[in-house]
Amino acid sequence: MYRYDEFDREIVQSRVKQFRSQVERRLDGRITETQFKPLRLMNGLYLQLHAYMLRVAVPYGSLRAKQMRQLAMIADKYDRGYGHITTRQNIQFNWPELTDVPDILNDLAEVEMHGFQTSGNCIRNVTSDPYAGATAEEIEDPRPTAELLRQWSTMHPEFAYLPRKFKIAVVASKTDRAVIRAHDIGIEITKNDKGDVGYHIIVGGGLGRTPIIGQTLREFLPREELLPYLEATLRVYNRYGRRDNKYKARIKILVTETGIDAFKQMVDAEYETLEPLDIAVSAEEVARITSYFSGPDFEELPTHDDSYKAKLLSDKDFKNWAENNLAEHKMPGYAIVNISLKPIELAPGDITSDQMRAVADLSDKYSFSEIRTTHQQNVLLPHVKKSDLYEVYQALKDVKLHADNIGLISDIICCPGMDFCALATARSIPVSQAIAQRFADPERQRAIGEMQIKISGCINACGHHHVGHIGILGLEKAGVEFYQVKLGGDASENAAVGKVTGPGFSQEELVDGIERLVDYYLEVRKDGERFIDSYNRLGMAPFKEALYAA
């Protein structure tokens, strides 16, 4: 696991002190709101529609049990007993009070957490594959690279005021569980013909009001060139990215307007002027960081476990859960346990303090104290022995965390929308609930198979609707909410932006329309085809017809 070193500790603690003093000065009027706002945002504190909101960074989605327990404590002591997992693998509290925030940050610092880089035009929290260190698909654990980027970008003086926010995601397998093609920079750790490990660098992806799939900047970047090359890329963006119009300020616009080839030339020219050795980290430093992630002491186990198999046969609910929520582990006899935060009746991504503590206890007991958050707004235990799965399942059931819908139609990504967000144009939570209710029948969900519905409450697209198989955007006209539908988006390694079907729907019409759409798919699909496959085979027209058939 990532080990917090003395630099981090000092920085985080001095920032807490700093913020405490800033809050005091704000409260007694020595600093104005205009001066204070950027200071609070730098610590992840927003003012939302009804109250403040605190966003806590979870670097590359890796959490330890004691951190999860502390988050639970914070939820109880200072908030309303729950938190919300975001599509950037962070956690948000919806109801903190400004006067408590210095204490919250202090409590977070005790477990090596903070809210840096969760806001503002800096390099944001680096995200990664939640299966990191656990999946056999990966070339190596992507987290040392993510950590290297975190260290490089944390308070990098040159990149504190970029034209706009900057998001980086890293994976190390062909399967993309971090949507790297929808990031400002996406990195896939890869091997070249000679077997050397390096980086496939993708640039200029993004969602928001102008969704763009990233393009390849370097097919293969040698390992030691990573930081200098990204430094050059960020310098080019910092210099040429537009600052006159915040809607055109992301790197995706610069790359599109310049053209990828010309952009690459600019980066290469900048790279020539660098002293790469000043920025590159030594092999020893890479080894030191990598050693933090050396992985737990796995037991040598047989691939199959008889007690687990027996339970699969005797408990049908357990079998359904296991089939849907488990993923293959690189070690024989282990499994990755996905925990769905999408029970039919609750808001996607919300987790109560009791549930946080239960997950923390389970991870201590069964998963080497490791927990991950996912961009799908779920959590997972990365390393569970198959022989322990039944106990884990029972314990999850006790706290209602046993929903067996990972990857299915009710595993919906959904932003807070108008219920909490100051920028929203419509609600998103009730829509996701209505869809989940309509398809509540577990048999039906399994029959439909993999389906990604993603909902945003405004064009900022925090709910990833552009890359949903079915994407839903909440809008408002003359005081009435309506919902626009996109089809054919894809958040995987085959990333694609969905296409708008046509005029929007009321919430009720929308759910009926989606049901017709899904029924149509079930009619026309060929063996084993997922919804997105059928859509790609048949195109928009017939699906659109089904959607609007009423």
Question: In DSSP terms, which residues pair with 198 in a beta bridge?
Answer: 190, 222
Q: Is 91 in the site for ligand SF4 (CB under 6 A)?
A: no
DSSP-derived letter for residue 483 is E
Judged by beta carbon distances under 5 to 8 A according to partner kind, the member of ligand SF4, ligand HEM, another protein, none in contact with residue 87 is: ligand HEM
Taking CB under 6 A as the rule, does residue 65 contact ligand HEM? no
Cα atoms in the 13 Å half-sphere on the side-chain side of 13: 9
What DSSP designation does 147 have? H
Burial string for 332-344 (b: 16+ CB within 10 Å, else e) reads ebbbbbbbbbbbb
Task: Give min distance, CB of 504 to another protein, in A.
Answer: 15
d(CA 421, CA 86) in angstroms, rounded, equals 13
User: What is the distance between the alpha carbons of residues 454 and 419, in angstroms, rounded to a whole number?
Assistant: 17
The radius of gyration computed from the CA coordinates of the chain, to the nearest angstrom, equals: 23
Closest distance to ligand HEM from the beta carbon of 206 (Å): 4
- Interacting partner of 233 out of ligand SF4, another protein, ligand HEM, none (Cβ under 5 to 8 A depending on kind): none
Alpha carbon distance, N-terminus to C-terminus of the chain: 54
206 binds, among ligand SF4, another protein, ligand HEM, none (CB under 5 to 8 A by kind): ligand HEM
Query: Residue for token digits 């990233």?
Result: 214
Burial of 312 (0-12, 13-18, 19+ CB in 10 A): middle
Q: Does 424 bind another protein (CB under 8 A)?
A: yes
**Contact region for ligand HEM (CB under 6 A) — 125-133, 137-145, 201-209, 502-510?**
201-209
Closest approach, Cβ 429 to another protein, in A, equals 5
User: Under the criterion CB under 6 A, does residue 423 sit at the interface with ligand SF4?
Assistant: yes
Q: Does position 94 bind another protein by CB under 8 A? A: yes
Q: Decide if residue 508 touches another protein (CB under 8 A).
A: no
Binders in 337-356 for another protein, by CB under 8 A: 345-347, 350, 352-353
Interacting partner of 86 out of ligand HEM, ligand SF4, another protein, none (Cβ under 5 to 8 A depending on kind): ligand HEM
x/- letters, 403..422, toward ligand SF4 (CB under 6 A): ------------xxx---x-
Comparison of 26 and 311: residue with beta carbon closer to another protein: 26
456 SS3 class: strand
Degrees (nearest 5) of the Cα angle 439, 443, 446? 85
What CA–CA distance (Å, rounded) separates 58 from 65? 13
- The alpha carbon of residue 105 and the mean position of all alpha carbons in its chain are separated, in whole angstroms, by 22
Both tokens of 38, joined, read: 């950027």
Q: Residues in the site for ligand SF4, rule: CB under 6 A?
A: 415-417, 421, 423-424, 456-458, 460-463
Q: Residues in the site for another protein, rule: CB under 8 A?
A: 26-29, 33, 47, 49-52, 76, 78-82, 94-99, 345-347, 350, 352-353, 418-420, 424-425, 427, 429-430, 433, 476, 479-481
